[in-house]
Amino acid sequence: MREPNLLYTDVEDALREALRDLLTARCPASAVTALYDGDRSIVPLLWKSLAAELGLAALLVPESAGGAGATAREAAVVQEELGRFAAPAPFLTSALVATTVLNFSDADDLLPELASGERTAALAVPLSASVASFTPVVTAASRGTVTGQVTSVAGAVEADLLLVPVRVDEGIEVHAVDAAAVDVTPVVSLDMGRQLADLTFDEAPTRVVLGAEAGGPAVLAGLQIGAALLASEQVGIAQWCLDTTVDYLQQRRQFGRIVGGFQALKHRLADLYTDVEGARAAARYAAACAAENDPDLSVAASIAQAFCSQVAVKAAEECVQLHGGIGMTWEYPAHLYLKRAKADQIAFGTPSVHRTVLSELVRLPI
């Protein structure tokens, strides 16, 4: 079997450059910080730019459904850049996870709407749900409606379409529900750039888009692609923290010397650099396996999440500490990356969950 190529292609580099230019102009740290004061005006404007101008909402949508027909490799590059800016966009929840689920469906009208950015979707599962722990809690009621409550759902605040896994006797169905028919209660979240919400379905009218035979595999595929490509966002977070800290230590002077010249700090940065490069390799491998439907995807996704989530948190913590007093201020953006890294650490399964998955995959008891 051919080994996946982990290097970036010219197309991926061009995509990265175009996206970085847009985010530099339209996603300043001050606008992201304003989310914590209740100003969410940047979210719809930024998503419109990403979805409509760059066509990123269409990446994983097949060309036959009006999409770009791209792969997880290109999506991973987008995730890296969004992580680098701590961008508050529902790309992960709508363009990746929800779209992956709908790719299993024959609902011809929904995918084109997502691809164009006309609609935004979210999979109605808790942020912490993983392939190893997910259990549907919503049940089918009478007259084509569903009932139940799902807590801590990412992407639901921005979504106008909810894909709801519904427990039935035969397995798991996936229902499409208009968000307007659901009680969506935003909750104060550690990372307000990916604000969570609690959903209450009180006999909400639905439309079945995936039957029990395909619904379960579709939901698990969505959760797996979420875990695999979240790792690339974590690499983007870690890379920003490393680059910003190195730049700062090359300017900050103490005791008449550039702080970056102290050997102890050099060692810490060297260790962090090797961690970030290792995380990049793990994330790229997960993305490459997802792009090629490699049977090693389950292993690659869990390796990436078990490692990259911890590297992102370590990089953000080092960034805050090595910046000294300024790193602790509200005006400096380091706190945005620490919050995103900590929130991502539980998304689609904690590191311990993925280590447990790995132990079972390789038949190693823990």
Spatial distance between the Cα atoms of 176 and 76, rounded to a whole number of angstroms: 26
The whole-number pLDDT of residue 78 equals 98
Q: Average pLDDT of the chain?
A: 94
* Model pLDDT for residues 316-354, shown as the tens digit of each residue: 999 999 998 899 999 999 999 999 999 999 999 999 999
Nearest partner of 94 among 163, 9, 45, 30, judged by Cα: 163
pLDDT digit string, tens, across residues 199-251:
999 999 999 999 999 999 999 999 999 999 999 999 999 999 999 999 999 88
Instruction: Check residue 142 and give its pLDDT.
Output: 77
Kindly report whether the global pTM for this prediction surpasses the value 0.85: yes
3-state secondary structure of 164: strand
Instruction: Classify 123-214 by CATH class.
Output: mainly beta
Domain definitions of the chain by residue range: 10-119, 123-214, 216-361
Q: Check residues 262 and 145 and name the one with the higher pLDDT.
A: 145
CATH number of 10-119: 1.10.540.10
Give residue-wise pLDDT tens across range 47-95. Answer: 999 999 999 999 999 999 999 999 999 999 999 999 999 999 999 999 9
Can 10-119 and 216-361 be said to share one CATH topology?
A: no
pLDDT top residue among 261 and 46: 46
Residue 365 has pLDDT above 70, yes or no: no
Give the three-state DSSP class for 180.
helix
Sorting pLDDT into bands at 50, 70 and 90, what band is 2?
A: low
SS3 175: strand
* pLDDT score recorded for residue 259: 76
Question: What's the fold here for domain 216-361?
Answer: Butyryl-CoA Dehydrogenase, subunit A; domain 3 (1.20.140)
For 246-297, how does the pLDDT look when each residue is reduced to its tens digit (9 = 90+)?
999 988 877 777 776 788 889 999 999 999 999 999 999 999 999 999 999 9
Residues sharing a CB contact under 8 Å with residue 49, sequence separation 6 or more, in sequence order: 22, 26
CB contact at 8 A, 279 and 307: yes
